[in-house]
Every structure is written in structure tokens, then in C-alpha cells.
């Protein structure tokens, strides 16, 4: 609400007229299923109450003028000549989205836009996917073309792969576009079939009808005692804490090496498929390899490739087992699968780092923690933990102290709300005044 008010006022101040729409696209936390998306496998992310807001209005010409409030920078480009901008790399996401929307034949209007968000950049909560999804959806609102949410996610992934140059999978854009409040999304990254999975620790917040809902307030950092907002999220105000909360711990170590190591992992997985095809000629991706088949043929794989394959094969199993555990309300099993995922990412996939390990290990020590693991690509960023409602404050105090002592870094610890995917925060209305040229 506050964020939305601010962005609206800033838009008015910068462009001299009201925005025609304000779009909100969420970041994400992946509960389990890491590095499986580009292996045609399964993932189980949630869309969170940290998001990118984009206030926008159409222009009568072909210019796109973008103000990034968080960087205090302005960038502009023409829809007739979309090029990379090395000076304003943040604007390459919108450029890439515009490029591929036009390539698909959609007629885009020029646009004045102000962008702002509360997803920390480089924390592994997918701010870039949220920026892409917000841009694509904004253009959809402004020009009314028809594109399903799945197609929108695919187009944004393409913008990131081919325009920005990061070879990510489909998970981040998909959950930002299709997330559902209080549910995780099981995504089959081969077929793109998806299914909402009810979270048995559903929060008891009072709900409003989707159309009336404001954008989510920024998450509060848990500092000492639960703030009223967090009490609400945990259901404490009703005297019946839900069984658990999703807690994100930001190591404050910004991801390094991620692009080159990420691409190296992709190549190692492809090599695994190539080698396993000698025994299993029908396989297209590691998704097609069962644990039994992996065990039978693993000796033929070189050490590093074997480790990468082992992670993917068993991580896919863990995702499916996790969904079963959630359906049965079995949080203990779900938590054990999370822990197993972390160990596998640390030892076999080798995408953890000291900070993430210290954070996960500190979480594992707390009574009332079901499970904890690194989330996202790795090499820094955040862990995700599933914590019993009554243990959240104990968790915060212990993890923050242990982590700070071991690393010298002050972590940020959030209780996370689970929100809907992209949507218009403010309904589109017709402008009577002509948009200024900004
Ligand atoms: C990044 C990528 C995703 C996915 C994760 C790892 O977030 O953007 O596509 O591969 O890493 O699970």
C-alpha cells in the first residue's frame, strides 16, 4: 500500500500525470527442487510478498522512458531500435521483453514507467524475473494483446536467455507469473504442467477479495519480538499459531561466480545425459533417469559428472516426495527432504558456499525447525527454512547470533508471506490528459 502510494506519487512528480496502471510482480522462494528446471525436472517454488512494482502509462510515440527509483537512474530507448545498454544494465530486462514481444508480432505503445521494489538484488529471490514479468504484463495491460501466463513466462525467460545472456531455466519467471496465494506451485519443467499445492501452514490473515487487495506491504525484518504484522502472518493474534512459517535468511553474501558456474553445471548435466544414453538411448534429459537406473550405470560416469547427475536424479525424487508430504500435512518428512536437498547441493552439485552452510547448519540446531536449505542458484543469497510457529523467535535469535559470530556478516531474517503471481495493483483507467513526453 505504502509502496504503491510512493510509486504513484513519484510517477506523478516525474511525468506530470497519473500512471494508467501499477503492476506488481513477486519474487520467489523455491521450497525444493534446485537446478532441476533446466534438466526438464520438477520444482516447488512460492511467490513471496516481496515484489517489483511498475507504474506506467502509454506514450503517443515509440519511446520507452524508465525511471528506476532504487538506483535513482533513468534510461530510455526507442521501440524501433532496441539495443543493449551497458550503462544501465537494469534496463536490459525491459529491453529484452520489448524485443521479444515485438518479435512475436505485438504492437507495443511507447511507455513512461517508474520501477521500484523490495526484493534485494543478488539475494537469489529472483528480482530479475520479477522485473521481466512486470514489464511484460504492463505492456499487456497497456495494449491488450492476448498472451497466457505460461506464454508470458516463456517469453520472459527467452528475454533473459537471449537478450540479457543468462541461461536460466523457467522456474523464476513461471512462479512470478503463476504463483498462487498461500500455495506452492509444483511445476513440471518439461511439459509446463503445474499444480497448486496447499501449504498446511496457511496463515490466518484476514483476506480481501483479489480485486480489492493492495500490494503486499514490505516484509518486516524480524528484530527481537514479533511485530504486529508478523504476529498476523503467524496467526498469533488469533491465539492459534499455524504449525509453521517460511523463513528466509539472507546471508548478505551477494552471489558471485553464478553465471559461469551455473553454465558449467548445465554443461555437466548435458554431458551426463550424453554418457548415460549409451545405456539408456531413449533419455532426453536427466529427468528421464530413475534412481535405479542411475545406480546401475553411475560407475561409467566421471566423478564430477556422476555427482551432478546424482543430485538431479534424487532432487527430482525429493520434490515429488515433498508434495506427498505436504498433502499429508507431514512437515517432519518435508523438512527432512529440505535438509537432504541442501546436503546434496553442497556435496554433489557443489553450489553452496561457507555462508550458506553456516546458515543452514545454525538453523538445523534449533528445536522446532523442520528443515532448512539454500534456495535459488547458490553461491550466496538466501536459505529457506520451515519453522514451527512457536519457534520463530528462538530461530531468529539463534541463527542471527551463530551466523554473525562465524562470518562477521549481519543476516536479514524474514518471515515470508506467500502471494499471488503478477497482477495489476491498480486497475487500468482511461487517461483524459495526453501523456507528457517525460
Ligand atoms: C536460478 C535460475 C532458475 C533455477 C535456479 C536453480 O534461480 O534462474 O532457473 O535454475 O537458479 O534452481
CA of 357 to the centre of ligand 1 (A): 19
Q: Whose CA is nearest to atom 9 of ligand 1?
A: 169
* pLDDT at residue 288, as a whole number: 98
**What is the pLDDT averaged over residues 361-368?**
98
Atom of ligand 1 nearest to the CA of 126: 7
Position 40 pLDDT exceeds 80:
yes
Query: pLDDT per residue over 195-224, tens digit each?
Result: 999 998 845 333 333 333 333 332 333 322
Percentage of the chain surpassing pLDDT 90? 83
What the block records as the C-alpha cell of 18 is 497519473
Average confidence score pLDDT of the chain? 89
Atom of ligand 1 nearest to the CA of 171: 9
Could you tell me the pLDDT band of residue 427, with boundaries at 50, 70 and 90? low
Which residues have C-beta atoms less than 6 Å from ligand 1? 30, 34-35, 37-38, 168-169, 171-172, 376-377
- Asked about 172 being catalytic, the answer comes back as yes
Position 103 pLDDT exceeds 90:
yes
* pLDDT at residue 242, as a whole number: 52
Lowest mean pLDDT among 155-169, 202-216, 277-291, 372-386: 202-216
Could you tell me the pLDDT band of residue 121, with boundaries at 50, 70 and 90? confident
Position 401 pLDDT exceeds 60:
yes
Atom of ligand 1 nearest to the CA of 37: 10
* pLDDT at residue 96, as a whole number: 98
Cα torsion through 284, 287, 190, 423, rounded to 10 = -150
* pLDDT at residue 259, as a whole number: 80
* pLDDT at residue 426, as a whole number: 59
CA of 26 to the centre of ligand 1 (A): 15
**What is the pLDDT averaged over residues 175-190?**
97
Best residue among 43, 159, 172, 342 to mutate for probing ligand 1's pocket (most ligand atoms within 8 Å of CB) is 172
Could you tell me the pLDDT band of residue 243, with boundaries at 50, 70 and 90? confident
CA of 376 to the centre of ligand 1 (A): 6
* pLDDT at residue 429, as a whole number: 52
Cβ(423)–Cβ(4) below 8 Å: no
CA of 37 to the centre of ligand 1 (A): 7
Q: What is the pTM of this model?
A: 0.90
Position 241 pLDDT exceeds 60:
no
In angstroms, the CA 171 to CA 30 distance is 9
Please identify which of the residues 40, 172, 250, 288 carries the catalytic annotation.
172
Task: Give the count of beta carbons closer than 10 Å to the beta carbon of residue 233.
Answer: 26
Could you tell me the pLDDT band of residue 232, with boundaries at 50, 70 and 90? very low
Cα torsion through 420, 424, 427, 432, rounded to 10 = 180
* pLDDT at residue 163, as a whole number: 97
* pLDDT at residue 230, as a whole number: 46
Amino acid at each position: 500500500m505504502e509502496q504503491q502510494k510512493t510509486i504513484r506519487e513519484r510517477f506523478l512528480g516525474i511525468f506530470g500525470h497519473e500512471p494508467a496502471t501499477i503492476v506488481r510482480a513477486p519474487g520467489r522462494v523455491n521450497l525444493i527442487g534446485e537446478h532441476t528446471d533446466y534438466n526438464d525436472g520438477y520444482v516447488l517454488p512460492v511467490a513471496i510478498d516481496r515484489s517489483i512494482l511498475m507504474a506506467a502509462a502509454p506514450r503517443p510515440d515509440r519511446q520507452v522512458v524508465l525511471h528506476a527509483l532504487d538506483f535513482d537512474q533513468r534510461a530510455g530507448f526507442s521501440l524501433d531500435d532496441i539495443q543493449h545498454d551497458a550503462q544501465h544494465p537494469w534496463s536490459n530486462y525491459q529491453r529484452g521483453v520489448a524485443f521479444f514481444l515485438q518479435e512475436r508480432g505485438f504492437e507495443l505503445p511507447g511507455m513512461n514507467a517508474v520501477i521500484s521494489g523490495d526484493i534485494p538484488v543478488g539475494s537469489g529471490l529472483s528480482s530479475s524475473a520479477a522485473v521481466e514479468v512486470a514489464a511484460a504484463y504492463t505492456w499487456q495491460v497497456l495494449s491488450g494483446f492476448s498472451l497466457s501466463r505460461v506464454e508470458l513466462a516463456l517469453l520472459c525467460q527467452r528475454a533473459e536467455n537471449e537478450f540479457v545472456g543468462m541461461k536460466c531455466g523457467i522456474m523464476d519467471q513461471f512462479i512470478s507469473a503463476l504463483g498462487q496465494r498461500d500455495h506452492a506451485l509444483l511445476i513440471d519443467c518439461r511439459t509446463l504442467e503445474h499444480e497448486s499445492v496447499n501449504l498446511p501452514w496457511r496463515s490466518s490473515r484476514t483476506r480481501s477479495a483479489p480485486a480489492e487487495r493492495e500490494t503486499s506491504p514490505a516484509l518486516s525484518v524480524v528484530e527481537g519480538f514479533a511485530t504486529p504484522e508478523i504476529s498476523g502472518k503467524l496467526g498469533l493474534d488469533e491465539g492459534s499459531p499455524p504449525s509453521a512459517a517460511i523463513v528466509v535468511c539472507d546471508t548478505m553474501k551477494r552471489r558471485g561466480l553464478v553465471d559461469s558456474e551455473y553454465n558449467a553445471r548445465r554443461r555437466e548435466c548435458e554431458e551426463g545425459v550424453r554418457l548415460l544414453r549409451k545405456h539408456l538411448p531413449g533419455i532426453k534429459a536427466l529427468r528421464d533417469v530413475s534412481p535405479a537406473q542411475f545406480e546401475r550405470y553411475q560407475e561409467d560416469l566421471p566423478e564430477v559428472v556422476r555427482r551432478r547427475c546424482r543430485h538431479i536424479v534424487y532432487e527430482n525424487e525429493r520434490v515429488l516426495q515433498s508434495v506427498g508430504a505436504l498433502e499429508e500435512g507431514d512437515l517432519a518428512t518435508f523438512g527432512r527432504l529440505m535438509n537432504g536437498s541442501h546436503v546434496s547441493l553442497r556435496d554433489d552439485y557443489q553450489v553452496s558456499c561457507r555462508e550458506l552452510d553456516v546458515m543452514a547448519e545454525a538453523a538445523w540446531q534449533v528445536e522446532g525447525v523442520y528443515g532448512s536449505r539454500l534456495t535459488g542458484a547458490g553461491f550466496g543469497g538466501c536459505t529457506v527454512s520451515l519453522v514451527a510457529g512457536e519457534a520463530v523467535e528462538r530461530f531468529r535469535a539463534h541463527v542471527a547470533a551463530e551466523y554473525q559470530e562465524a562470518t562477521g556478516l549481519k543476516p536479514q531474517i524474514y518471515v515470508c508471506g506467500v502471494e499471488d503471481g503478477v497482477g495489476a495493483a491498480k486497475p487500468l483507467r482511461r487517461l483524459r490528459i495526453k501523456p507528457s513526453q517525460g
